[in-house]
Amino acid sequence: MGMAKTKRRYVCQACGSVSHRWQGQCSDCGEWNTLAEEAPATVFSQKHDLSSGGRPIAFEPLDAPGKELRRRPTGLDEFDRALGGGLVPGSAILMGGDPGIGKSTLLLQAAGRIARAGGDVVYVSGEEAAGQVRLRAARLELADAPIRLAAATSVRDILTTLNGMEPPALLVIDSIQTMHSDTIEGAPGTVSQVRGCAFELIRYAKETGAALVLVGHVTKDGAIAGPRVLEHMVDVVMSFEGERSHQYRILRNLKNRFGAVDEIGVFAMADDGLEEVANPSMLFLSGRDAPLAGSAVFPALEGTRPVLVEVQALIVRLQSGATPRRAVVGWDNGRLAMLLAVLESRCGLNFSSAEVYLNIAGGYRLTDPAADLAVAAALVSALADKPLPSASIWFGEVSLAGEVRPVAHPGVRLREALKLGFDRAHGPAGAGEKIPDIRYDELGSLAKLVDRIAS
Ligand SMILES: Nc1ncnc2c1ncn2[C@@H]1O[C@H](COP(=O)(O)OP(=O)(O)OP(=O)(O)O)[C@@H](O)[C@H]1O
Ligand SMILES: [Mg+2]
Ligand SMILES: [Zn+2]
């Protein structure tokens, strides 16, 4: 064996990429100040010959009888919906989300439901003392749920204990960034610790069939490794979202090795915990009576469920030649820039000397591409200072040429809008299914939209 050589290693705490010199910005993910020096990796100068000395592996046909995919519902329907039907035994789930958004609350509630239904649950808190978790449990009226609770941070202690008992149906680790392994150098929360600890816990889950949930904090400061370094290691990546100032929380599935990722779970945060919101279609409307310039209602689709969302735009004319601001909450920045460019070049509107603010009401984050037309309608309405007709909805995708393109499931969107009292819709040509009580306005292009609103 040759001499071991060592090199300085700087690991991006956001995405895990390694570089050999320090840089202010990660060249892979573009985050700033996320590079931190970590224990040097050992590099052997002599190559190992891997072509002999191993044990033969067994090959299997693809149609070999295997275990059927059995899901265990948590009993929290909105959680199960976002999971795609429940927890898959032996799977690893990463639950990300901003500080204080409600991750521990959600998981304790799910754990409580499973435990009360007779499932064995182990909840390991590395963040809070057992007493703190008990206080939360009391507030959630779960104090009597037979959950095994422990405050621990050593993965060796946790796995030693678990290996001495029947594997639980659910193992919650809150959070992975507080865990440490004595076989790995570095402080808890560094990329190598987070990866190494996750690796051991995931192996335990795979071997025993326990479903594993790892809580992962989303951080930007680079002191702690973020969930992105784990995304490829786990089977399911979920994100718990919302604005802390609003009561609504959305559980999204960003990656799912066992199913689709298009359903969301919707909850409302209350004093006694998260309440499930089975019918979220009205939540993200402001409920104002008088129509306001710059506000447009968009019928979004979240998986199979329609959700009506209010898009709000504000335009402020600048007197001086200062660079105008564009600020977006709840929608894609790049998409807004594109829409503004299309409105300028295809419709002759001028936003160049104006500040543009775009907000999606209720802390909602819009990802449905059909939102383009509603955003454009809000922008044009704000620019012209003319409110849009009340009780109307807008949907359609906008192309660079300024055409309004068809979108998925116009009928579902229209029917839900009608149910909630909207009797006027604007969208792409051909999308107006024959829903007699709704007046459907075909808008083939943005130019036509501008005509309709500004004239
Ligand atoms: N009576 C209450 N006491 C404490 N928190 C409450 C209460 N009622 C509602 N909450 C909500 O619970 C939230 C905290 O939830 P939780 O601790 O589950 O979040 P978390 O995502 O696990 O946070 P952390 O990042 O600190 O681990 C608070 O932000 C608050 O909105
Ligand atoms: Mg927590
Ligand atoms: Zn990075």
Are residues 258 and 304 located together in one domain of the fold? no
Are residues 83 and 114 located together in one domain of the fold? yes
Mean pLDDT by 10 residues, the chain (455 residues): 63 86 87 81 59 83 73 93 93 93 96 95 95 95 94 96 95 96 89 93 96 88 73 93 83 89 87 88 71 92 86 90 87 95 94 92 87 97 93 95 94 88 91 81 94 86
Say if 211 falls within a structural domain: yes
Q: For strand 236-241 and strand 248-256, is the pairing parallel, antiparallel, or unpaired? A: antiparallel
Residue having the nearest C-alpha atom to atom 26 of ligand 1: 100
Distance CA 165, CA 147 (A): 15
Where residue 173 sits, what CATH number does that domain have? 3.40.50.300
Quick one: pLDDT at residue 287? 66
Quick one: pLDDT at residue 129? 94
Quick one: pLDDT at residue 122? 97
Say if 66 falls within a structural domain: no
Of 269, 272, 274, 275, the residue with max ligand 1 atoms within 8 A of its CB, to mutate for a pocket test, comes to 269
* Residue 97 in contact with ligand 1 by CB distance below 6 A: yes
Distance CA 315, CA 288 (A): 20
Are residues 315 and 419 located together in one domain of the fold? yes
Say if 324 falls within a structural domain: yes
Are residues 197 and 260 located together in one domain of the fold? yes
Cα(317) to centroid(ligand 2), Å: 43
* Residue 271 in contact with ligand 1 by CB distance below 6 A: yes
Distance CA 203, CA 162 (A): 13
Quick one: pLDDT at residue 283? 73
Are residues 266 and 302 located together in one domain of the fold? no
* Residue 96 in contact with ligand 1 by CB distance below 6 A: no
* Residue 103 in contact with ligand 1 by CB distance below 6 A: yes
Quick one: pLDDT at residue 315? 95
Contact call for residues 362 and 300 (beta carbons, < 8 A): no
Cα(375) to centroid(ligand 1), Å: 33
Quick one: pLDDT at residue 395? 96
Are residues 237 and 337 located together in one domain of the fold? no
Where residue 327 sits, what CATH number does that domain have? 3.30.230.10
Distance CA 392, CA 382 (A): 16
Residue having the nearest C-alpha atom to atom 12 of ligand 1: 102
Please measure the distance between the N-terminal and C-terminal CA atoms of the chain and give it in whole angstroms: 81
Helix, strand or coil, per DSSP, at residue 209 = coil
Q: Ligand 1, residue 174: give the atom nearest the CA.
A: 27
Quick one: pLDDT at residue 74? 94
Say if 67 falls within a structural domain: no
pTM for the structure as a whole: 0.79
**What range defines the domain where residue 31 resides?**
4-44
Say if 62 falls within a structural domain: no
237's tokens: 């990546």
Say if 60 falls within a structural domain: no
Residue having the nearest C-alpha atom to atom 1 of ligand 1: 271
**Counting ligands in written order, which one lies closest to the CA of residue 34?**
3
* Residue 105 in contact with ligand 1 by CB distance below 6 A: yes
Are residues 264 and 128 located together in one domain of the fold? yes
CA distances from 93 to 77, 81, 229 (A): 17, 15, 14
* Residue 99 in contact with ligand 1 by CB distance below 6 A: yes
Residue having the nearest C-alpha atom to atom 6 of ligand 1: 271
Are residues 266 and 314 located together in one domain of the fold? no
* Residue 102 in contact with ligand 1 by CB distance below 6 A: yes
For residue 315, what are the β-bridge partners?
Answer: 356
Instruction: Please state the domain count of the chain.
Output: 3
